[in-house]
């Protein structure tokens, strides 16, 4: 007869090893990623009821052809100069009503940042990467100007304030405060970026 005693205890010493193994598996496979990108609003499909007449000088035309070349205000322009050109256009303040503009006050260019419109056209064969670069530069132009005004008014970058405002973890009291500031800076340089339908060829 074998010896009968109390049943032997199961050795749990390797439980930690097994748990570690699983832990490492999940650690490796976890991707805590948040996507980022350029936010845009598409125009509604119904045309506005009353057509507004916009002066030609308040429109900044950007045309991308299928080879990725840029035509800015009927001038062939390098993409690296686009941001500069856009800033000059938006910040122009031609009719003198804009008190915070620091531009050239050229009467041939935009009257006021609130009236200035950037119109972007592209070809069907334009590469998407080129299009994104152009979009990025135009949004960048707006952000640069807004940052400048936010620094002047609130001693803080606009991009920074907006990111904190949009962050869901921000407390609601700070949010209310930020909302007003963000709105105010946005109103100084409203983003008016129109995308016409693509030309057929």
Partner 1 sequence: MSKFAKKKDEGLPAVNTAALPDIVFMLLFFFMTVTVMKDSTLKVENTLPNASETKKLEKKDRVIYIYVGAPTSQYASQFGKEPKIQLNDKFADPSSVGDYILQERAKKAQELQNVLTTALKVDKNANMGLISDIKQELRKVNALKVNYTTYEGDAFNNLQ
Binding region for partner 1 (CB under 8 A): 12, 15-16, 19-20, 22-23, 26-27, 29-32, 34-45, 68, 79-80, 122-133, 135-137, 139-140, 143, 159, 162-163, 166-168, 195, 197-198
Pick between residue 78 and residue 95 the one whose CB is nearest to partner 1.
Answer: 78
Minimum gap (Å) between residue 186 Cβ and partner 1: 14
| For partner 1, the closer CB: 109 or 126 | 126
Name the minimum Å distance from CB 32 to partner 1: 7
φ and ψ of 85, to 5 deg? -60, -45
- The distance of closest approach from Cβ of residue 158 to partner 1 in the complex, given in angstroms and rounded to an integer, is 11
Paired strand residues for 194: 119
Which residue's CB is nearer to partner 1, number 97 or number 136?
Answer: 136
Tokens of 145: 């100007």
We find the least distance from the C-beta atom of residue 12 to partner 1, in angstroms, to be 8
Contact 142, 189 (CB under 8 A): yes
DSSP per position, 55-83: -GGGEEEEEE-TTS-EEETTEEE-GGGHH
Nearer to partner 1, 12 or 76 (CB): 12
SS3 at position 62: strand
Which residues contact residue 61 at a Cβ distance below 8 angstroms, ignoring those fewer than 6 apart? Answer: 71, 72, 73, 74, 119, 121
Q: At its nearest, how many Å lie between partner 1 and the CB of residue 60? A: 18
By beta-carbon proximity to partner 1, the closer residue of 136 and 174 is 136
Asked if 198 and 124 count as a contact pair (C-beta separation under 8 A), the reply is yes
């Amino acid at each position: 007869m074998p010896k009968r005693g109390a049943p032997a205890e199961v050795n749990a010493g390797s439980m930690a090893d097994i748990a570690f193994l699983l832990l490492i598996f999940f650690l490796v496979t976890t991707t805590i990623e948040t996507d980022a990108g350029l936010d845009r609003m598409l125009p509604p499909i119904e045309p506005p009821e009353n057509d507004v007449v916009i002066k030609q000088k308040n429109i900044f035309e950007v045309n991308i052809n299928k080879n990725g070349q840029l035509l800015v205000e009927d001038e062939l322009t390098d993409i690296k100069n686009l941001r500069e050109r856009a800033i000059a256009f938006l910040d122009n303040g031609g009719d003198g009503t804009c008190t915070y503009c620091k531009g050239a006050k050229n009467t041939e260019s935009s009257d006021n940042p609130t009236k200035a419109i950037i119109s972007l056209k592209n070809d069907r064969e334009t590469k998407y990467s080129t299009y994104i670069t152009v979009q990025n530069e135009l949004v960048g132009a707006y952000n640069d100007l807004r940052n400048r005004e936010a620094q002047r008014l609130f001693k803080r970058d606009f991009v920074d304030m907006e990111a904190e405002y949009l962050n869901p973890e921000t407390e609601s009291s700070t949010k209310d405060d930020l909302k007003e500031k963000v709105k105010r800076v946005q109103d100084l340089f409203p983003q008016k970026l129109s995308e016409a339908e693509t030309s057929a060829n």
